[in-house]
Structure 1
Amino acid sequence: MTIKFKVTEKGQPGVIGGGTKSFYATSIKSGDTGIEEITESIEKISTVSGADIRAVLYALIDTIPTMLADGKSVKLGEIGNFRISISSEGKEKMEDVNAGCIKKSKIIFTPGKKLKTTLSNLKFSKAAQ
Structure 2
Amino acid sequence: MSIKYNLRQKSQPGVAGGGQKKWYAAVAADGELTIDDLVKQIEKFSALSEADIRGVIIALENVIVDQIVNGKIIRLDKLGSFYPSLSSEGVDKEEDFSTAKIRNAKVNYRPGKRISDALSTATFKKKD
Counterparts of 1:68-107 in structure 2 under 5 Å?
68-107=68-107
The range that moved more, 4-13 or 23-32, is 4-13
1:29 equivalenced with 2:29 (yes/no): yes
- Equivalence for 1:2: 2
Structure 2: runs of 5 or more not aligned: none
Structure 1: runs of 5 or more not aligned: none
Cα distance in 2 between the residues matched to 1:40 and 1:105: 33
Report Cα offsets for 1:79-105 as digits up to 9, x if no partner. Answer: 111111112222221111121111221
- Equivalence for 1:118: 118
Letter in structure 2 aligned against 1:13: P
1:67 equivalenced with 2:76 (yes/no): no
Cα distance in 1 between the residues matched to 2:45 and 2:73: 29
Query: Identity, % of aligned pairs?
Result: 40
TM-score (structure 1 length as normaliser): 0.90
Cα distance in 2 between the residues matched to 1:18 and 1:65: 41
- Equivalence for 2:12: 12
TM-score (structure 2 length as normaliser): 0.91
Letter in structure 2 aligned against 1:113: K
For the aligned residues, what is the CA RMSD? 1.5
Cα distance in 1 between the residues matched to 2:27 and 2:85: 27
Cα distance in 2 between the residues matched to 1:6 and 1:88: 34
Q: Secondary structure at the match of 2:48?
A: coil
The range that moved more, 3-12 or 45-54, is 3-12
Cα distance in 2 between the residues matched to 1:72 and 1:61: 14
Cα distance in 2 between the residues matched to 1:89 and 1:7: 35
